[in-house]
Amino acid sequence: SHAIRVGIAGYGNLGRGAVAALARCPDMRLAGVFTRRAPASLRLPDPATPVLPLNDAAAHRHDIDVMILCGGSKDDLPVQGPELAQWFTTVDSYDTHARIPRYFEAVDAAARAHGNLSIIAVGWDPGLFSISRLVGEAILPDGATYTFWGKGLSQGHSDAIRRVAGVRAGVQYTIPVPEAIERVRAGERPALSTREKHRRECYVVLEPGADPRQVEQAIVTMPDYFADYDTQVHIIDEATLAREHAGMPHGGFVIRSGRTGASENQAMEFSLKLGSNPAFTSSVLVAYARAAWRMKSAGETGARTVFDVAPGLLSPQSPEMLRKALL
């Protein structure tokens, strides 16, 4: 059996991460990167990697076993997901939680009509965190589930502070409140307000002449984004921003706190500490690309989520090896 031939659609943070993740998987091979931009404008780590126009992707359907969709959830995937599911077995990291059912339907229809298989909403949240929540609720029905995020860079909140008048550049970190996590771990099952679960920290570079007090007020009172949280604003210079805030760390905790039998406290916890959110998310996508190829090879068609994928399918090892090594 040949190495699984993988295509990458879209070359942003996730696309770059997928190239790096594939290099660590000997059973898979990067067959090409597809982009909407001029192919010659992209710089790949290996200059021999074919870079092709996304518009021509269908012509390469016999050269690609699985296409990893690395477009943005807001504008790219709603179009690219159903479109590419016509031609390829796909995996994607669609993460607009409220719209997942609708997106699933669109991809499912396209994949089914053309005999392909697509795993949607892969990553860590949605993704690995979703699996942890499901397992916790199935095993401890008398309980409560808590998700804490961070410490992590939030793209949406960083964009929001950059839109404030007087702000030249900035980043926002979401930080879980340690006291809240401790209460949950102790089995208290507390009712926690938004403010009690997370706080927000902003690092902001001002436009020349901007009033720091005014900028801070505009940020901390911003409805939806900051008003319901304790928010700290730190004014820094451009060099500090470039030096200390260029990474994209993230992570978090899913905790299921429940009771069994004669009301013993039981806690299940899954946590991630990510040096790079996109590089990790791409690594999850690559493992699910392997599973997608196996499911498609077994004759499955239509859309799936992480809930439908057996864990053994993620591993490069055979079921026999897994029983010996990991059970």
* Contact between 71 and ligand NDP per CB under 6 A: yes
78 touches ligand NDP by CB under 6 A = no
Neighbours of 261 (CB within 10 A): 6
Bridge-based pairing of strands 250-260 and 143-149 is antiparallel
Nearer to ligand NDP among residue 36 and residue 189 (C-beta): 36
| Interaction of residue 35 with ligand NDP, rule CB under 6 A | yes
Stretch binding ligand NDP (CB under 6 A), from 56-64, 98-106, 267-275, 277-285? 277-285
Q: How far is the CB of 200 from ligand NDP (least distance, A)?
A: 19
Q: Is 81 an interacting residue with respect to ligand NDP (CB under 6 A)?
A: no
The angle, 0 to 180 degrees and rounded to 10, between the axes of the packed helices 77-85 and 100-114 is 20
Q: How many residues bind ligand NDP (CB under 6 A)?
A: 25
Q: Are 69 and 38 in contact (CB under 8 A)?
A: no
Alpha-carbon radius of gyration of the chain: 22
The rounded distance, in Å, linking the Cα atoms of 169 and 158 is 9
Binder among 39, 78, 82, 126 for ligand NDP (CB under 6 A): 126
Which lies closer to ligand NDP via its Cβ, residue 93 or residue 231?
Answer: 93
Q: Which is nearer to ligand NDP, 83 or 125 (CB)?
A: 125
Which residue from 73, 130, 154, 231 is in contact with ligand NDP, where contact means CB under 6 A? 73
Interface segment toward ligand NDP; rule CB under 6 A; list 135-143, 181-189, 228-236, 276-284: 276-284
Distance CA 136, CA 249 (A): 26
**Is residue 13 involved in binding ligand NDP (CB under 6 A)?**
yes
Q: Is 4 in the site for ligand NDP (CB under 6 A)?
A: no
84 and 65 in contact (C-beta within 8 Å)? no
Which residue in the set 132, 231, 257, 281 belongs to the binding site for ligand NDP (CB under 6 A)? Answer: 281
Shortest distance in whole angstroms from residue 237 CB to ligand NDP: 25
* Contact between residue 167 and residue 207 where contact means Cβ atoms under 8 Å apart: yes
Q: Which range in 30-38, 225-233, 238-246, 262-270 contacts ligand NDP by CB under 6 A?
A: 30-38
Q: Which residues bind ligand NDP (CB under 6 A)?
A: 10-15, 35-37, 54, 70-73, 76, 93, 95, 123-127, 277-278, 281
